[in-house]
Structure 1
Amino acid sequence: MIADAARVGKRPVTVERFGRRIVLFRDERGALVAARARCPHRGADLGLGRVVDGAIECPYHGFRFASDGRCVAIPCEGRGASARGVAEALALTRYEVREHRGFVWLFWGERPDELPPVPWFEGLPADERHAHTASTDWEVPFARAMEGMLDLHHAPFAHRPWVPGMGALLDPYDVRVEGDVIHAMGVLRHDDGAPWDGRRGWKFEMEVRFPGALRLSFGKLVVGVVGCAPIDAGRTAIVGRYYMPVPAIGRLLARLGLLMEFWLIQPEDERMLASSEPRDADLEACRFVRADAGILAWHKMRRARLKA
């Protein structure tokens, strides 16, 4: 999950992911296309150009590229350029991309014979009239960003002004791993020496589809989806959506909640993560405790992928 699909309209959009600039645009049918943003001719950013009849036009010299990557127009060489073979060496590097539930999903790596299905989460509303989506970038490496997403027990301290009186004891706390999915449930409550009564405290539930797609729920009202993707070795792109199934005002509440999250809460998370040493993180970088079980599970998945 690399971007909010609503960002890609009539004009192309360049995003930076995985250390590379990627241009997103729509073909004549409105289908999403992803390609390397660098024009094969002289390297200009195609995201600064325009889309003409479903082909993306370079802003520098007007070269056009169809949705399949073929160069279909070279104005300086005239109409016969394609027939003379001039365009053959100018094909765009394309990436496999899908649009699903309002997000842009990119397959990164060598293409298999059959692409895996786009990951999604059960139980989310199909009607998104009560939802709002927003994006931000963190000056934090991807692994650190994912640690922040999976961390439940920082809230009473890192976000004290916004959740005054929140208990710091994470109990109960349960983490299950099923294939590429991490399920976590926890309750932050006051440590009164008694077992949880099933009512007191703040209940959180989380489902993480490795590497960077998350479903979050806070109590019974707020449900969120978050996608994290590396921009480069030191930065992470985050796209989030809140669902608030409240008649008439659900979208407004979701917008207000997400604005608070992105303007007030997440900057505190980013500040803590950016201050952490070492800058990047792995299994040996920290000393984990019971309440970090979800983070530990994610790092183990990551290590297994890197070794594969």
Structure 2
Amino acid sequence: MRRKASLILLAFAVFFTAMSPLMRWYAFPRLAKIPPSQYQNVVLEAKNPTLLDYGTMQAKKVSKVSIVQTLKGDVEKAKRISDSAGRDVVVWDALSYVVGPDGKMVSKIPERYIFDAHSSEPVHATGEMVDGDPVRRDGIEFKWPFLTEKRDYEYFDAQARITRPIHYKGTTTFRGIKVYYFEQTIPWMKVPLPRTMPVPGITPESVAKTGTTRWYTTTRKFWVEPTTGAPVYGEEIMENELRGGTLLGGRDKVTVFKGHVKMREDSIQATVDLVSSNRVLVLLLTSYLPWGFLGLGVLLLALSLWLEARSRRPGDPEGTAVPHPEPVSA
């Protein structure tokens, strides 16, 4: 009976030991994925920034500017691209909606970001765009890969439509969570005007006819939770200018926006809560279950060997030959 139980425990030991690497290297890449229906809304604010008044074409200080960033997954589009690409793909329709202190729209820039559901690598497909312009992303945007590494990544800048390195600067703690800090600086460069302008009748085409161009620079900072690859906090020190042309009335340049943009407190808390819960799910596949299965397999193996040893009994001792007396002759 003990021998039978020993064999059963040995079989379970082999099973759980084999499951340990399978959970990490087979199940994790197939189960840890961004859902195609993901929806997220984040609000950022710039306190006391400089903002252009398009009515007077004068830059002035205002109390605040709010930026509402919305990410919404397009499930049907993702399914079609996934079927053609042969891998799970996520399609995010993003919108950056900028609002002035009076609640009026300053600008809005839509994006369509298509990427691999597990690796976060961009997937090039029809419909990838920024503000209606077709683009080809060669780097990540919005999210880092699962199990983010301590290294530089290529990051796409939607304003300039370019990809540049975003540098790993160190490890720190944010709201009790270990995070990697990344930073990217985009130097001054000419960028397209938004298609939707805050003043009716003014279009990028009408501004272009005056010879006036838009220039932009930014330093963006992200604090990324490495297990999920999700930023828990972000900031940007951003500046936009209009330069040259007849629109400026003889001036060389005028500031469109200049400010330090930070995530609002309610968005920070919601993001931290979401990332904390998702982190546990990823750790189940990469750490808790693999190590747990390995430990359970070793324990069952030890128990199996112990029962096997107990089931063995020493054999009966061999009989000792008794010599017979030889007959004695009288």
- Which TM-score bucket, shorter chain as reference? under 0.3
Is the strand fraction higher in 1 or 2?
A: 2
Larger RCO, structures 1/2 (Cα 8 Å, 6+ apart): 2
Larger radius of gyration: 2
After TM superposition, the score normalised by the length of structure 2 is 0.25
| TM superposition score normalised by structure 1 | 0.26
